[in-house]
Chains A and B, each alone.
Chain A
Amino acid sequence: MVTSASKPLLVVEDLGVGIRTARGTFQAIEEVGFALDEGEVLGLVGESGCGKSITALAIMGLLPQPVARITGGHVWFDGTDLAALSNEQMRHVRGDRLGMIFQEPMTSLNPVYRVGDQLVEALREHRPLGRGEAWREAVAMLDMVGIPAARDRASTYPHELSGGMRQRVMIAMALICRPRLLIADEPTTALDVSTQAQILDLLLSLKRELGMAIMMITHDLGVVAEVADRVAVMYAGRIVETADVFELFRSPRHPYTDALLRSIPRLDSDLDRLVAIEGTVASPLARPSGCSFRDRCPRARSRCADAVPPLDPLAPGHRARCFFPVEPGARAVEPA
């Protein structure tokens, strides 16, 4: 839902990424399109292999070339098409106006440099600051992400910190230049549930304080429900449903979303038997013709094999890629 006060910060249009492997070339993602408004949290949901991480990497210009490359589409960010920029040009955008955090904090932290130095480096890459001033900024940022005794901690090394602390440091590094958009790729998956709650809180409060938008990539529907404003569901390389978060959980229209919601165990309900989704996700090299979900879909009919359904609007702000979408509000299972 686009209100008059919000405008699209990021518009992904028809994005495709191809990957070359020893066993052949395949499209990791196809026709991916969604929009993210300023200050909004978009949840990008899907299971492993659906392409959500690849989408994030493509937006950031971090695809592992030459194995993977953008095969089509646009990534409009603040008026510029990121997909058309060179590596050099992307370097100026990354870390400055666009930030990213990952599942494993150690992948973006260099073990041989102090935490404060790494923040300083990230900052001075984009801002003309002296070392002293940059160090002060770094300490302020560590404080903002909730690291106690920030001034002392800035002089420690990554291995001296706990998992939750390292995640906070990684967040600090991604945000030190106050980007407009933060892409978070499974940032809490490797964390305990109690730490996860802290980090999610932190991300939301930073969002308010810094006025930024967040693209939250996750497989955890609970996390999505907790933080997202809008949701995009991915399956086998395509977006299959987008909606406002309340709308999606109340009335999922795509059979995959519906099935997924029925199959997860929940704290707030007491089902006797989980309704599992039959089969497994097809290998990207051997996707079925037409709709990729049809082999596992209880609603599939012959038409589903003929063509890939378009991502059509079914209600204002609610789109689903299905010829026979689930009826609105037809959730047979209500939380107890």
Chain B
Amino acid sequence: MTALLEVKDLKTYFAVRSPLLRRKVGQIRAVDGVDLRVEAGRTLGLVGESGCGKSTLGRTIVRLLEPTEGQIRVDGVDVTRARGRDLMTMRRRVQMVFQDPYASLNPRLQVGDAIGEALDIHKLVRSRGEKRERVATLLDKVGLGAEAMARYPHEFSGGQRQRIGIARALVLNPELLVADEPVSALDVSVQAQVINLMRDLQRDFHLGYLFIAHDLSVVRHISDEVAIMYLGRIVETGPKTTLFAKPRHPYTRGLLLSVPVPDPTRRRGAHAPLAGGLPDPADPPQGCTFHPRCPYATELCRLERPELRPFGDAQTVACHHAEEVAASDPS
């Protein structure tokens, strides 16, 4: 079965240039060989901390950034270097929802115009009436009334603006939404509203989601499959329940143990599970990039970078010692 989205060995590198002559003096490997699959109607949660490259990956997939190497296939069609008409076709199938509800809407544009603009760009409507109708339907679908059309973004709350952003992403009837931290900037009580909305929309429109987030609890709630990212690479994937119950990569394990749970009877206690911080992406450690922080690290880890390999039931992991990690369950 062809996946809705298939990413193979994707790399996005940024050149570090000297100030005046702009000679290339270094390289940041923001995305360093990523494989992914998203099925239609299902959600892949992509988790990582800041600096791991997940936002870069999301932006590369929607072609806001150009991939350095690798392949992106949407419904089997190679769109990695698509241009012109092919690119426009791809844009009708893959859309993005952004993190900051305050910055992602042009403050000078009325909500109706912001949502309907895509229809004009792709020449999908023949009259203003038709455009207004489609925008109104979408606004209804996201829980805002049609009267929102004539108002400006600053008249709405953060949660409402995020709904507007979602409506804008849906106006072209895409099949895949890449959501880059869509609820991180929202208040806790509003997050639930938007998460519920996204789940309803997924069901109604049979959308695939690439849900990028740093909040493990949110990812756990909305995802079907989960991938963990560290310094530009995927280190573990698996079905949600399995991954959260039986993490196979030391980083995943550390992350899960670090999250404070809203239940004082289950305090983590002292000794933070992960020491140190994310290494400098311009100068990553040799071998396995996680080894300086890893309690299971050996000489092998310093020398050889582990590849993502299958492990257990529908899981994959990039670790030389995944068997050991598995043995030291459960969390």
Contact = CB atoms under 8 A, between A and B. Distances in A.
A78 interface: no
B2 interface: no
Contacts of A274: 192, 195-196, 221
Interface in B174-218: 187-193, 195-196, 199, 214-218
Contacts of A245: 264
Contacts of B216: 193, 267
B157 interface: yes
Given A48-B187, A193-B216, A195-B277, A225 B195 contact: no
A194 B221 contact: no
B126 interface: no
A277 B221 CA distance: 17
Contact of B274 (A194, A226, A259, A268): A194
B150 interface: no
A196 B189 contact: no
Given A260-B189, A335-B263, A276 B196 contact: yes
Contacts of A281: 187
B262 A277 contact: no
B241 interface: yes
Given A192-B278, A224-B262, A275-B192, A201 B272 contact: yes
Nearest to B49: A192
Q: How large is the interface on B (under 10, 10 to 19, 20 to 34, 35 or more residues)?
A: 35 or more
A268 B263 contact: yes
B260 A220 contact: yes
Contacts of B50: 192
Contacts of B188: 47, 219-221, 260, 263-264
Given A201-B270, A266-B217, A193 B187 contact: no
Interface in B227-252: 241, 244
Contacts of B193: 276-277
A273 interface: yes
A265 B160 CA distance: 20
B264 A276 contact: no
Interface in A238-259: 245-246, 249, 259
Contacts of B112: none
B301 to A, nearest CB: 19
A194 B49 CA distance: 8
Given A201-B270, A201-B272, A261 B262 contact: yes
A166 to B, nearest CB: 11
B266 interface: yes
B262 A249 contact: yes
B196 A192 contact: no
Contacts of A220: 188, 260
A192 B275 CA distance: 12
A158 interface: no
B137 interface: no
B270 A194 contact: no
Interface string B120-142: 00000000000000000000000
Nearest to A260: B189
A80 interface: no
30 contacts: A48-B187, A163-B277, A164-B277, A193-B255, A194-B255, A194-B273, A196-B258, A197-B258, A197-B273, A201-B272, A221-B188, A221-B262, A222-B259, A225-B261, A225-B267, A226-B260, A226-B268, A261-B262, A263-B191, A263-B192, A264-B188, A265-B191, A267-B220, A267-B256, A271-B221, A277-B189, A277-B193, A280-B157, A280-B159, A281-B187
Q: Which 8 A-B pairs have the closest CB atoms?
A: A222-B260, A265-B221, A276-B192, A197-B272, A192-B49, A194-B274, A274-B192, A226-B260
